[in-house]
Structure 1
Amino acid sequence: MASARDCPCCSGLPYTQCCAPYHRGEREAPDAVTLMRSRFAAYARKESAYVLRTLHPDHEDRKRPEAEVLREIRDATSTLKFMRLDVLDHDGPDAGGFWHVLFHARVFEKGQDRSFVELSEFAHDGVGIRYRSGEQVAAAKVAEPKGLTIGAFRETFSTR
């Protein structure tokens, strides 16, 4: 059973030795999987500034006022409980310089299951790897998330 000191990214490490240094800006995530895990932990811990800081300049929210985006992140996470993260598949960088991470996030809101599977895209912005975009599907629509691959997700759910 996880303790209150365990990192919300489900690495099994204490938060102070896992995602905290990224959240505090002491270092950059070394790869897309680590960045994705640290973003999940940031949502779980209501670290909205980190969520914003790790958006790629091409992300649509970067074109909006920072205060507005931060408020939306805080509002969106205020009633959510981020229970578990499972990384299902990852690749990259591809020829375009993009990394992809497929994950299953178990999230609940006032007892309602809001879990989802997402295929996220990441790119380097000159400072570090950043979140560019993602395609989400309600976890209830995925028969067995554990065996899902990036290719199978694209074939079945992708709109791009």
Structure 2
Amino acid sequence: MPPAPPCPCCSGLRYKECCAPFHRGEAEPPDAERLMRSRYSAFALREVAYLWKTLHPDHPDRARPQEEYLRGLRAYAQGHQFPKLVVMDRKAPDESGLAQVLFFAKVFEKGKEQSFVERSDFRHDGTGWRYLSGVTVLPKDVKGPPEALTLATFPE
């Protein structure tokens, strides 16, 4: 029997022990970083229903019809490869409940690099952590290697 595949979130764990329980609805990610990792894996594995489920109710895409949003996500996920995720920094929830994660996502579309760095905001909705918003920058717009950024040095 071949070994279980590694998780696309690059945690070093096997998918079945990492993001699979979240994608299957068996558990909620315990913190913002695990939610972010599970969302990256969901893009890689085309788990678009999970991406909808983990959008915060205040995210602007929640105002769109669900099927329209899922169609767009499916098309995006099918046209891209997601080979690597690097989490550079994280901030625990502040007094308002906002948590942040800074990551570098390696993404390719038809062999062309579409990678980006994102500072993501997350908030718990009473059920689980949810993606609220994000600010992205392209690696070419970062001084030095993108993996060296921190939340404090992220360009505004």
What TM-score bracket applies, with the shorter chain setting the length? over 0.9
**Are 2:43 and 1:43 aligned?**
yes
Name 2:149's counterpart in structure 1.
Answer: 148
- Please, which moves more after superposition, 31-40 or 132-141? 132-141
CA distance in 2, matches of 1:44, 1:124: 24
Q: Distance in 2 between matches of 1:141 and 1:4?
A: 37
Q: CA–CA distance in 2 between the matches of 1:118 and 1:90?
A: 12
Report the AA paired with residue 62 of structure 1.
R
**Would you identify which runs of 4 or more consecutive aligned residues in structure 1 move more than 6 Å?**
none
* TM norm structure 2: 0.95
The sequence identity of aligned pairs, in percent, is 53
- Report the alpha carbon displacement of residue 92 of structure 1 after superposing the two structures with TM: 2.0
Other structure's SS at 1:152 match: coil
Contact persistence 2:85–2:103 (CA under 8 A): yes
User: Do the aligned partners of 1:121 and 1:134 also contact (CA within 8 Å) in 2?
Assistant: yes
> Residues 94-133 of structure 1: matches in 2 within 5 Å?
94-133=94-133
Q: How does 1:9-158 map to 2 (within 5 A)?
A: 9-142=9-142, 143-153=144-154, 156=155, 158=156
The answer (yes or no) to whether the contact 2:44–2:82 under 8 Å persists in 1 is yes
Q: Whole-Å Cα distance in 1 between the matches of residues 53 and 74 of structure 2? A: 14
Q: 2:152 is matched by which residue type in structure 1?
A: G
Q: How far 1:78 sits from its partner (Å)?
A: 1.2
Matched residues in 1 for 2:140 and 2:112: separation?
12
Distance apart, 1:152 and its partner CA? 0.9
Q: Please report how far the alpha carbon of residue 144 of structure 1 lies from its aligned counterpart in structure 2 after TM superposition.
A: 1.4
The one-letter code of the counterpart of 1:121 is D
SS of the equivalent of 1:43 reads helix
Whether the 8 Å CA contact 1:117–1:138 is kept in 2: the answer is yes
Deviation at 1:146, TM superposition (A): 2.1
Shift of 1:140: 2.3
Structure 2: runs of 5+ lacking an equivalent? none
Which secondary structure does the structure 1 equivalent of 2:85 belong to?
strand
One-letter identity of the residue aligned with 1:34: R
- The Cα of 1:71 is off from its aligned counterpart by 0.4
